[in-house]
Amino acid sequence: MMNQFQKQLKQLEDKGRLRCLSSESGVDLTSNDYLGFRNHPKLRDAALSAIESGIDLGSGGSRLLRGNHPAHEDLEEFAASFFGYERSLYFATGFQANYALFTTLSTRHDVVLYDSLIHASVKDGIHAGHAKGVKVAHNDLNAYEDALKRFRDEAQQIFIAVESLYSMDGDFAPLPELYELAQKYDATLIVDEAHATGVWGEGGKGCAESLPRNLITLHTCGKALGVAGGLVCASGDIIDTLINTARPFIYSTAPPPLQAVLVKEALRLVQSEEGKERRERLHIICNNVKLQMGGEGSQIVPIILGEDEHAVFVASALQKADFDIRAIRPPTVPEGSARLRLSLNADLEKETLDQFFAHLTPYLQDKAA
C-alpha cells in the first residue's frame, strides 16, 4: 500500500514531472548569476573583512527584537539612494518580500490586478491576502485598462502587479504605458525587478528606473547581485507599514548581517566601472543570441519544446554534452509549454554559445519535422 506522499510522487513521476535536486556541473546556462558576481573577489574580500572585524554571523532574532543590526540599516539606506527612493526594506528572500507586500498592503476593499505570468511569490501573497486578485492577460494593455475601468468604482485601492522582465519568458513589461494607466486610474504599480536589477535600466537600476518614484519596486539580491534577499523600495509610509504589519517581516529571524554587507558590496559593484563593463558585455551577448533565436534580446531565452518528456529528454542530452541547462515544466509554466530556459551571463564566450546551438539545433529540427 502506498501512502499519500508516495502516491503523489508516483503521479508526478508518471507525468514526467518529478523534480529532484542536482548539483551544478557543466557550462552555466541556467543560473541567475547574470553578471558573475556570485564568486567575485570583491564580495569575498568584503565577507572576509566583515568577519575579521567581528560581524555577528547570525542576526539573533526578528528585526523588531534583537535582530536589527547596523549592517541591515546601512544596506537599506544605500539601496534607497541607489534606486532613488525615500526608503527601502531588506528581507531574507525575494519570495518573502513579495509575500509580505501582497499580504500586507491591500485590504478586503482592494483589488490587485496581476499579470498572468507573474511569479509564484506574488500569486501566493495575493492568495493569502484579503484583496480580490484579478488575473490579466500577459502584457495586454487593453486588458489592463478594461480591468481598471471595471474595478475603479468598486475598489478602494487598486494595485497592479507586474514583473519588469518575465522570469520564464524573458520578455519585458510595457512599464511606461502601465505607469500611465496606473496614474489615469489612481492605481499603484508594483514592479518586481527580480531579473532586471543590476542588468537593465540606467546604471543597472532596473527597468522602472526612469519612472517617477510613486511606485513600489522589488529588487531581489540573489540573481544578478549574486547574494540573497529582497529589497522593497518605496515611500517612507509604505516601508513603515511593512515594518509594523507585515507578518513575514515581524515574525521571522532577520537575515544574517553578513548577507546585508555582501548585498551592499554587490550594489557598489553594479555602480562601478567593472559593473558597467559586465553589463555591456552581457547586452552584446543578448543581442547576438537574439539574432539567432529571436525574442526580445534579454538574458532569458525560452526554448519552448511543448511536451514535458521532450523538454526533459533534450535537457538531459545537452547536459551530457556538458551544458548545464534545465527543463522547466508546468506548473512553473503553462501546460504544453515545457521549455529549456537559456539563461545568459556576462562570462559566456561566443564559441561556447556556438557549440551549444550546434548541439541544440537537431532537436529543434526534430520538432519542426
Ligand X SMILES: Cc1ncc(COP(=O)(O)O)c(C=O)c1O
Task: Tell me the catalytic residues.
Answer: 32, 119, 163, 167, 192, 195, 223
Instruction: State CA 28 to chain mean position distance.
Output: 18
Under rule CB under 6 A, residue 94 binds ligand X: yes
Given candidates 28, 110, 115, 163, which one binds ligand X under the rule CB under 6 A? Answer: 163
The answer to whether 69 and 193 have CB atoms below 8 angstroms apart is no
Given candidates 40, 72, 119, 219, which one binds ligand X under the rule CB under 6 A? Answer: 119
Toward ligand X, which CB reaches closer, 332 or 355?
332
Toward ligand X, which CB reaches closer, 162 or 211?
162
* Joined grid coordinates for residue 366: 526534430
The answer to whether 339 and 302 have CB atoms below 8 angstroms apart is yes
β-bridge partners, 115: 136
Under rule CB under 6 A, residue 299 binds ligand X: no
State whether residue 2 is helix, strand or coil.
coil
Under rule CB under 6 A, residue 170 binds ligand X: no
Task: Indicate the DSSP class of residue 253.
Answer: B
Give the residue among 107, 106, 126 at the shortest CA–CA distance from 115.
126
Toward ligand X, which CB reaches closer, 167 or 252?
167
**The cell 568584503 sits on which residue?**
46
The residue range among 94-102, 243-251, 287-295, 317-325 that interacts with ligand X, by the rule CB under 6 A, is: 94-102
Under rule CB under 6 A, residue 95 binds ligand X: yes
Give the span between the Cα atoms of 64 and 245, in whole angstroms. Answer: 11
Toward ligand X, which CB reaches closer, 151 or 337?
337
Q: Rounded to the nearest whole angstrom, what is the least distance from the CB of residue 221 to ligand X in the complex? A: 7
Give the span between the Cα atoms of 247 and 192, in whole angstroms. Answer: 20
What mask, x for binding ligand X by CB under 6 A, covers residues 55 to 84?
------------------------------
Q: Which residue is nearest to ligand X (CB)?
A: 94
**Exposed e or buried b per residue across 161-193, where buried means at least 16 C-beta atoms within 10 angstroms of its C-beta:** bbbbbbbbbbbbbebeebbebbeebebbbbbbb
Under rule CB under 6 A, residue 33 binds ligand X: no
Phi, psi of 210 (to 5 degrees): -90, 0
What mask, x for binding ligand X by CB under 6 A, covers residues 203 to 222?
-----------------x-x
Q: Rounded to the nearest whole angstrom, what is the least distance from the CB of residue 95 to ligand X in the complex? A: 4
Give the span between the Cα atoms of 252 and 261, in whole angstroms. Answer: 19
Under rule CB under 6 A, residue 98 binds ligand X: yes
Q: Which residues bind ligand X (CB under 6 A)?
A: 93-95, 98, 119, 121, 163, 167, 192, 194, 220, 222, 230
